[in-house]
Each structure stands twice: as structure tokens, then as C-alpha cells.
């Protein structure tokens, strides 16, 4: 989002400096060297509805880097991997009644075609799913996933937020029977590199390993930012830092604004990546609903992006207060690999070529019913100051398309503020 905002701002003729706290640009879209393969720390994919991504890539001259691939979904439950995500798979699924299967199919069909979310904005996902599909579907298929992603927040997740996730994937299909997802050739680094090149070619600056420490204001107007290297004067500031950091980052905010940011909760993540010598399943993603498996699923990224070896992401979402968040990397990796072996018993430790654990304290905002009204305004009362992070995509979830859209929107307002 920060790079998209910076690109739009330099296009409009502003003198732009990007402060990147990390050692590399790109935030959650940044890559790392994984045993010789450049790949994202946190997996990304492209859907057919991601118009802001396509428009930006067209402008940057990299539109031809999008690749599309037919993908599939699986569901591991009761010790068996089932096909999932198509009408046929749903009708053949043996773990819920025929009536529940039919109701679930209708729910998915209507959700994919629905265009408005205001009617379900104040409803919980549990209530909404149960109303459409019945208790059996919620308890057997959704409740386990919510518990392992949201923990104590599981019963109070926004129906509107869940709907947008169903809609986005449902509209990225060739047909009812074929899901089609995309990726950027070379990974998200291709987009990050193109943005950085364009920003720098227009005389913008990108300062790496340079976190913003304090936003300074005077007479209700921004004056600049304190950094480890000193004070950087500025007439306008766009902050894309996680909302929990905002009250300390901008100490001159009104008390009620600080309280609003502190009232937005987040779940952390330990995202594990394995490079394996053999595949785990034929699916891009597998949801897991087993009482003794502590992750809601895994992503076999190599079934989307064409890479030499098998690449598996295993996301452990959890509050940062959970003891597993501070487990040693190897303990997490050993547990996660044992889960992969449950899904594919032919896997052995000898198939592991490389592994990596990345942690993020503010990975997933908790969007409860009525979340839209809870969000502070992007344009704050302090002149020249705009603040947003991934929770401001609501009801959409985190993703590159929403990052691009909101980042460019904020930069486009600079001429008017």
C-alpha cells in the first residue's frame, strides 16, 4: 500500500520519500531467498476480480507477467482428503447430510452473485452461515476453521467480511467446475521492483531499514517524521503502519482517535514455508477440520506458481499471547510437518529440502459485526495526515488489489488537502 501510494504521489508531481522499516521494500508482499528461490514470506495469489492490480501492472509495463492456472481445493477431515470447491465435490461429500449439502451449495451460489453487503454488516458470520446452511454445516465445516484462525474472537466475526472472501474466490472461475487463479511471474517481487524503479526514476526516495518513530505536528498540521537518522520534514504524511502502532507513532492525535485505533484487534501469524522433494496433494489449498490438528489448512503454492520443487505454506494464525507464537522455529516446523504427513503418509523427513518460519504480530485484523462504523476516518483532523492499514480494506480482506486501490486513493487526495 505504501509503495502504491508513493508511486501515485510521484506521478502527481509530489516530492516523495518512502520510509520502510524492513530491510527490503514491499511489506507483507516482500520476498526472501528460500534456498535459491525468490519467494514471498506470506503467500499471494491473483483473482479475476483484482482490477486495481491489473490497471497498475498495465501502467508499469508488466501486464504480461500475469499467469493463470486452473487450481483446486481439498478438505481434510475424519482422516481423509476430500475434493472440495465444486458442486460435484459438495454433493459427494459424505460427512454432512444431503439437505445440508444442498443448502450449502445454494449459499455459495448466492454469495458469489451477491453485490451488496449492507444487509449483513451487523450480523455475525456464525448467524449468517447457520441461517442459510444450518447448524451442521457451521459446526462441522466453519467452526473449526474460525476457532483456529480467530480463537477467542471466533464467534464474533463479521458476515460481510466472510462474504467478500467467498465472492472473490467464487468469481475467479472458468466455470462452475473450474477455479482459475493467477500469479505474477517472478512472484510479487516483480511488482515491488517495478514500483520501486518507477518511484526512483521520478526522483522519489526509498529509505530501507528506516522506521518512522514519531509523526510531528504543529497547530494541527503535520511538520514531519522522526527517524533513526534524524528529522524528515514533510507537508503530507501517509501512514500505512499497523493500526495498533498508530497511537504511539502519532502522539498528538486526539484522545478519542487513539482509543479508536487501540480498539481494533489483530491476530498474529507464524507462517511456515517448506520446500519438499515431493508433492503433498494435487490441490492449491486444503482446508483442515480435524480436532487434533492445530492449523486451519495449508497452501501448496507450487500447484499455482510454476517452480521446480514443491512449496508448502502452513499458516499458524494465533494471538501473540499464545505460547506457540514464541515456540522455537524447529518445534513449529516439526509439528506442522507431522500434519502434512497425516495428509500424505508417503512423506518422510528426507523429503524436506528447506524450511523457514516468518512471524508477524499484526497479520489479520479482527472484523466484527458493524466494523465499518468502528473505523476512524482515513483523513484525520490533523491537516496533511492520512492513516490506513489492511483493516481499512473492509469488508474486503487483505490483498494486493486492495492495497493498490487504497494506496492510490490516498495519494490522489494529496492535491486536495
Are 40 and 30 spatial neighbours (Cβ–Cβ below 8 Å)? yes
Each residue's pLDDT, cut to its tens digit, for the chain (417 residues) gives: 999 999 999 999 999 999 999 999 999 999 999 999 999 999 999 999 999 999 999 999 999 999 999 999 999 999 999 999 999 999 999 999 999 999 999 999 999 999 999 999 999 999 999 999 999 999 999 999 999 999 999 999 999 999 999 999 999 988 878 899 999 999 999 999 999 999 999 999 999 999 999 999 999 999 999 999 999 999 999 999 999 999 999 999 999 999 999 999 999 999 999 999 999 999 999 999 999 999 999 999 999 999 999 999 999 999 999 999 999 999 999 999 999 999 999 999 999 999 999 999 999 999 999 999 999 999 999 999 999 999 999 999 999 999 999 999 999 999 654
- DSSP structural state of residue 22: S
Q: What are phi and psi of 138, to 5 degrees?
A: -65, -50
- Grid cell of 106 as nine digits: 445454494
Q: Where are the alpha helices (DSSP H) in 119-239?
A: 125-133, 135-137, 143-150, 159-170, 188-201
What's the grid cell of residue 362? 499484526
- Bridge partner residues of 40 (DSSP): 31
Q: How far apart are CA 394 and CA 391, in angstroms?
A: 6
Fold held by 265-365: Polyamine Oxidase; Chain A, domain 2 (3.90.660)
pLDDT of residue 417: 45
The three cell numbers of residue 214 are 514519531
CATH superfamily of 85-178: Guanine Nucleotide Dissociation Inhibitor, domain 1 (1.10.405.10)
The secondary structure of residue 221, as a DSSP letter, is B
**Which DSSP helix (H) or strand (E) runs through 57?**
helix 51-60
Alpha-carbon Rg for the chain, nearest whole angstrom, is: 22
User: What are the sequence ranges of the domains in the chain?
Assistant: 2-44+187-264+368-416, 85-178, 265-365
For residue 402, give the DSSP letter: H
CATH assignment, 2-44+187-264+368-416: 3.50.50.60
CA distance 400 to 62: 15
Residues 6+ apart with CB under 8 A from 237: 215, 222, 224, 225, 384, 385, 386
Give the integer Cα–Cα distance in Å for 293 and 291.
6
Amino acid at each position: 500500500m505504501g509503495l502504491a501510494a508513493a508511486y501515485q504521489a510521484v506521478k502527481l508531481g509530489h516530492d516523495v520519500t518512502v520510509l520502510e522499516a524492513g530491510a527490503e521494500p514491499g511489506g507483507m508482499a516482500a520476498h526472501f531467498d528460500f534456498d535459491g528461490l525468490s519467494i514471498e514470506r506470506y503467500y499471494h495469489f491473483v483473482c479475476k476480480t483484482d482490477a486495481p492490480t491489473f490497471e497498475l501492472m498495465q501502467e508499469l509495463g508488466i501486464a504480461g507477467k500475469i499467469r493463470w492456472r486452473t487450481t483446486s481445493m481439498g478438505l481434510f477431515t475424519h482422516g481423509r482428503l476430500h475434493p472440495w470447491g465444486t458442486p460435484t465435490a459438495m454433493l459427494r461429500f459424505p460427512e454432512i447430510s444431503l439437505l445440508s449439502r444442498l443448502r450449502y451449495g445454494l449459499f455459495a451460489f448466492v454469495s458469489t452473485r451477491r453485490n451488496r453487503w449492507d444487509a449483513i454488516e451487523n450480523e455475525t458470520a456464525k448467524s449468517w452461515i447457520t441461517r442459510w446452511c444450518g447448524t451442521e454445516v457451521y459446526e462441522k465445516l466453519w467452526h473449526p476453521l474460525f476457532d483456529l484462525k480467530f480463537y477467542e474472537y471466533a464467534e464474533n466475526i463479521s458476515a460481510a467480511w466472510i462474504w467478500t472472501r467467498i465472492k472473490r474466490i467464487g468469481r475467479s472461475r472458468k466455470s462452475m467446475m473450474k477455479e482459475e487463479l493467477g500469479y505474477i511471474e517472478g512472484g510479487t517481487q516483480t511488482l515491488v521492483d517495478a514500483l520501486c524503479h518507477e518511484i526512483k526514476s521520478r526522483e522519489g526516495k526509498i529509505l530501507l531499514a528506516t522506521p518512522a518513530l514519531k509523526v510531528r505536528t504543529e497547530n494541527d498540521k503535520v511538520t514531519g517524521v522522526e527517524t533513526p537518522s534524524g528529522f524528515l520534514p514533510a507537508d503530507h504524511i501517509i501512514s500505512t503502519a499497523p493500526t495498533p502502532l498508530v497511537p504511539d507513532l502519532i502522539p498528538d492525535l486526539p484522545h478519542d482517535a487513539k482509543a479508536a485505533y487501540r480498539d481494533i484487534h489483530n491476530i498474529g501469524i507464524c507462517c511456515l514455508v517448506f520446500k519438499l522433494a515431493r508433492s503433498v496433494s494435487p490441490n492449491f489449498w486444503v482446508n483442515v477440520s480435524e480436532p487434533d490438528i492445530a492449523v486451519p489448512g495449508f497452501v501448496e503454492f507450487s500447484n499455482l506458481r510454476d517452480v521446480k520443487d514443491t512449496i508448502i505454506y502452513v499458516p499458524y494464525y494465533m494471538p501473540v499471547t499464545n505460547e506457540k507464537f514464541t515456540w522455537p522455529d524447529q518445534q513449529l516446523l516439526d509439528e506442522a510437518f507431522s500434519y502434512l504427513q497425516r495428509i500424505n503418509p508417503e512423506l518422510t523427513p528426507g523429503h524436506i529440502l528447506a524450511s523457514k518460519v516468518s512471524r508477524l504480530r499484526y497479520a489479520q485484523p479482527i472484523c466484527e459485526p458493524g466494523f465499518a462504523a468502528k473505523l476512524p476516518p482515513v483523513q484525520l483532523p490533523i491537516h496533511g495526515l492520512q492513516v490506513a492499514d489492511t483493516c481499512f480494506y473492509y469488508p474486503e480482506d487483505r490483498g494486493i488489489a486492495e492495497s493498490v486501490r487504497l494506496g492510490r486513493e490516498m495519494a490522489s487526495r494529496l492535491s486536495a488537502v
